[in-house]
Each structure stands twice: as structure tokens, then as C-alpha cells.
Amino acid sequence: MPQLDTSTWLTMILSMFLVLFIIFQLKISKHNFYHNPELMTTKTPKQNTPWETKWTKIYLPLSLPL
């Protein structure tokens, strides 16, 4: 049986290593699987600005406790 002739085994195994572990994996790793496009809400929510209430307190001199 020619498959049992071990003189060619090294060539076979090395070429298989090259193709399977390097070339195929490089090719497949370059595939990009993108998400489907989703709707984004156009209304931006109101930001919580805690300094608005405090601004008047600090910067209005007549209300400062002196």
C-alpha cells in the first residue's frame, strides 16, 4: 500500500501543517461578521446638571450667609 511508504510522510505532514494551521486560519480570521444595523434614538436625553441649582447659591452674593 503506497500510503505506508514512510519516505514521503515528512513532506505530507509539513505541507499539511502549513496549509491547515497557517494559511486557512489566516484566511478565515480575516472574515468580519458585522452586527445588523440597529435604530438609534435621535432624541438625546436631558443631561443632569446639578450645578444649575447651586450656581445661583454660590454666585449670587446677596443670598450668601455672611
Residues that bind other proteins (CB under 8 A): 1-6, 8-9, 11-20, 23-34
> Measuring CA to CA, which residue among 25, 27, 2 is closest to residue 12?
2
Q: How far is the CB of 39 from other proteins (least distance, A)?
A: 20
- How far apart are the C-alpha atoms of 51 and 64, rounded to whole Å? 16
Comparing CB distances to other proteins, the nearer of 13 and 58 is: 13
Comparing CB distances to other proteins, the nearer of 31 and 43 is: 31
Q: How far is the CB of 21 from other proteins (least distance, A)?
A: 8
Q: Would you say 37 and 30 are in contact if contact means Cβ atoms under 8 Å apart?
A: no
